[in-house]
Structure 1
């Protein structure tokens, strides 16, 4: 039994019929609209693109996000790309 108060999440992405996406191991929800949803996960920034998407369930205490809608793509961003972009913006 884990007595530590820090949750232990396992990152997992489950896609059901391209209409429901279940993400476990989410740490925060970034921006979202009906065409794109961004979130931080245990494995990095995850971007989901589609049509008519809504966040059906959001439980960050359990690290779970459920998205409904037509899912067209799922992809991770590399952390180095984000840091370089931020550095470039700060130096301008």
Structure 2
């Protein structure tokens, strides 16, 4: 029998461009002081800014709290079939 995955609700809350709470997070793919890349239920989420930090991460609940100066937020859809074929993730993200 095929197992169905239940999609968690996704929410993004930004407070004064200084803190952010994200739900529906599947994975934190990368992070540094200027960029955080999250895989969410709604696609890839890239947060750019200055002095960015992941304050809290709960993989079980799919929640992430971010802090720093947020300059931009962008979503990108990546098909699972492309990922399975071994295509470069970043080439798809910035296409």
**How does the TM-score come out when normalised to structure 2?**
0.76
Higher Cα radius of gyration: 1
Matched, 1:41 2:37: no
Q: 1:78 to 1:8 in 2, by over 3 A?
A: closer
Q: In the alignment, what sits opposite 1:68?
A: 67
Matches within 5 A, 1:13-92: 13-79=12-78, 83=82, 86=87
State the Cα distance separating 1:41 from its structure 2 match: 0.3
State the Cα distance separating 1:25 from its structure 2 match: 0.4
Instruction: Name the Cα RMSD after superposition.
Output: 2.3
| Displacement over 4 Å in runs of 4+ | none
State the Cα distance separating 1:78 from its structure 2 match: 2.5
**How does the TM-score come out when normalised to structure 1?**
0.78
- Unaligned ranges ≥5, structure 1: 1-5
- Unaligned ranges ≥5, structure 2: none
